[in-house]
Amino acid sequence: MGGSANSLINRPILASIHTQAFQHNLNRVRELAPESKIWSVIKARSYGHSLAAALEGLAATDGFALLDIQDAAWLREHGWQGRILLLEGLFHENELDLAQELHCDLVVHCDAQIEWLERYADKVHKPISVFLKMNTGMNRLGMKPAVYRSAFHRLHAAGYRMHHMTHFANADQIDRQPTVGSQVELFNQTIEGLDGPTSLANSAAVLWHRNALGDWVRPGIMLYGASPTGLHEDIAHAHLKAVMQLHSEIIDIQDVLAGDRIGYGGRYEAPESMRIGIVACGYADGYPRHAKDGTPVYVRGGNEGGVVCPIVGRVSMDMLTIDLRNAPFAKIGSVVELWGDQVPVDQVAQMSDTIGYELLCAVAPRVPVKII
Ligand SMILES: *Cc1c(COP(=O)(O)O)cnc(C)c1O
C-alpha cells in the first residue's frame, strides 16, 4: 500500500487486521462481564479475520469457540493450550478420538451426540467438558426443556463434566419486547438444582442484557468491533474498535460529463462534469454487490487526512466506482478504506441491506490478510 507494505502484491487490496483492536475489544468484554469467563467466538475464519490474527490478538481470552475440528487442530499446532469449545459439537461419531486428543470441550445438542458420548465413556482418559445445549425458544439447535434434565443425567452418569448452555434469538432487538427474559426464565427453571456452570450470552446480551450473562459469555461480533444489530450507532457506548481495515487504491480516474452513465446498467448518471475514481475492489473480494449509490468510501489524502466519497454506479466483480468531487487531491495510487476506522463496516452493510457479520465473513480468500 502506498509503496512498501504491500509492494509484493500486484493488486492493491489488503485486509489489515489490528491485533491491538482485538485486545481492546476483549478488554471491553471483560469490563462488561467481569464475573464471566470468555469464549471468544472465532468461527468462519474468525469472522473473516483469520485464525492467526485471532490467536495473536485474543491470546488473553479464556477459550476459543469455533465450529471445525480442523480449526481446533490448527490452534493446538500453533501453541494454544487454553480451552477450545466446538460450538456445534461433533458432526460424526468418529471424530471423538480427535476431539479428545485435542482436548476440546463439546457442545451437545441432540440425542445422537448423547449416544456417541455414552458409547465413548470407557475410552475417556481425561474428563471431557460438555456444554449441554437447551433450546429455549430459538428452535435451531438444542434439547427441549422437557428432555433436558434426563439428557443431563445421562451424560453426568457417563462421567462427563457438565455445563449448561442456551442461545438467544432476540438479544439484539434492543427496542422491542420481549427479548431475552422468557428464554432466561425457562433456562433457569429447567436447570434448577443441577450442578454446572452456565453459558448464555452472545455479544448482544453482553452489550444489552447483563443480567443474562452466565459463567461463560460467548461474544463474537463485538470482538471484531461491529454491531449485533447492524447499526453502528447502537454500539457507540461500548467504545469498540474496528479490527479489520479493508484497503485498496484508486487505479484509474475517469473524467465524465453531465449525462454520462457509470458502469454496468448505467445505474448512476453524472449530474455535471466530474471525476470518477476507479477502485480495485469488487464483489469477488467480498464487497457487497448490492451497495447502493451513496455508500461511503474513505479516500486518504488532502488537508484533512481524507474524505468520504460515495459509491456511484454498480459494484462490479473487481472494481467499484466513486464520486471524487469531495476529493480534488485524489489521484491514481490514492489509498482508500472500504471499511475500518473511518467507515464502519456496519454502514456499508446498512447501505447493502445486510449486517456487518455477513460482510466480514465474506471477505474473499483472494484478499491478502496482513496482521498488524
Ligand atoms: C456465533 C455464535 C455466538 C456469537 O454471536 P455474536 O452475535 O457474534 O456475538 C455465540 N454463541 C453461539 C452458539 C454462536 O453460534
pLDDT confidence tier of residue 3, bands split at 50, 70 and 90 = very low
Tell me the CATH class for 19-233. alpha beta
Distance CA 79, CA 81 (A): 6
Mean pLDDT on 158-172: 93
Residue 1 pLDDT > 50, yes or no? no
Instruction: Give me the percent of the chain exceeding a pLDDT of 70.
Output: 97
Residue 4 pLDDT > 70, yes or no? no
3-state secondary structure of 262: strand
Which residue from 202, 223, 229, 355 has its CB within 8 A of the most atoms of ligand 1, so it is best to mutate? 202
37 is catalytic: no
pLDDT tens by residue, 111-159: 999 999 999 999 999 999 999 999 998 889 999 999 999 999 999 999 9
| Closest ligand 1 atom to Cα of 206 | 9
Instruction: Indicate the pTM of the whole model.
Output: 0.94
pLDDT tens by residue, 232-258: 999 999 999 999 999 999 999 999 999
Q: What mean pLDDT value characterizes the chain? A: 95
pLDDT confidence tier of residue 179, bands split at 50, 70 and 90 = confident
Residue 181: the pLDDT is: 85
Ligand 1 centroid, distance to 26 Cα (angstroms) = 15
Residue 8: the pLDDT is: 53
Fold for the domain defined by 244-371: Lyase, Ornithine Decarboxylase; Chain A, domain 1 (2.40.37)
Residue 9: the pLDDT is: 58
Q: Which of 123, 148, 241, 264 is catalytic?
A: 264
Mean pLDDT on 80-106: 97
Residue 63: the pLDDT is: 98
Mean pLDDT on 214-231: 97
Residue 263: the pLDDT is: 94
Residue 245: the pLDDT is: 98
- Give the end-to-end CA distance of the chain in Å, rounded to a whole number: 14
264 is catalytic: yes
Residues with CB under 6 A from ligand 1: 41, 43, 87, 167, 202-204, 218-221, 228
Residue 259 pLDDT > 50, yes or no? yes
Query: At 187, which amino acid appears?
Result: F
Residue 169 pLDDT > 90, yes or no? no
Q: Is the dihedral of CA 89, 91, 96, 102 positive or negative?
A: negative
Residue 2: the pLDDT is: 43
Bridge-based pairing state of the strands 320-323 and 274-279: antiparallel
CB burial string 213-246: b at 16+ within 10 A, e below: bbebbbbbbbbbbbbbbbbbebbeebebbbbbbb
Domain ranges of the chain: 19-233, 244-371
Residue 173: the pLDDT is: 82
pLDDT confidence tier of residue 176, bands split at 50, 70 and 90 = low
Query: Which of 59-63, 84-88, 193-197, 207-211 shows the lowest mean pLDDT across its residues?
Result: 207-211
Residue 262: the pLDDT is: 96
Nearest protein CA to atom 15 of ligand 1, as residue = 87
Ligand 1 centroid, distance to 85 Cα (angstroms) = 12
Ligand 1 centroid, distance to 200 Cα (angstroms) = 10
- Give all strands (DSSP E) within the chain, no chain letters: 14-17, 37-41, 63-66, 83-86, 105-108, 129-134, 161-166, 198-199, 216-217, 244-256, 261-262, 268-269, 274-279, 296-300, 306-310, 320-323, 335-339, 369-371
Q: Which of 43, 241, 331, 370 is catalytic?
A: 43
| Closest ligand 1 atom to Cα of 357 | 8
Residue 213 pLDDT > 60, yes or no? yes
Mean pLDDT on 201-228: 95
Residue 81 pLDDT > 70, yes or no? yes
Query: Which of 29-33, 182-186, 245-249 shows the lowest mean pLDDT across its residues?
Result: 182-186
pLDDT tens by residue, 8-27: 557 999 999 999 999 999 99
Residue 177: the pLDDT is: 59
Stretch (H or E) spanning 345: helix 345-350
Ligand 1 centroid, distance to 220 Cα (angstroms) = 5
Three cell numbers written together for 8: 509484493
Residue 7: the pLDDT is: 52
> Which of 169 and 290 is assigned the larger pLDDT?
290
Residue 87 pLDDT > 70, yes or no? yes
244-371 matches 19-233 in CATH topology: no
Nearest protein CA to atom 6 of ligand 1, as residue = 220
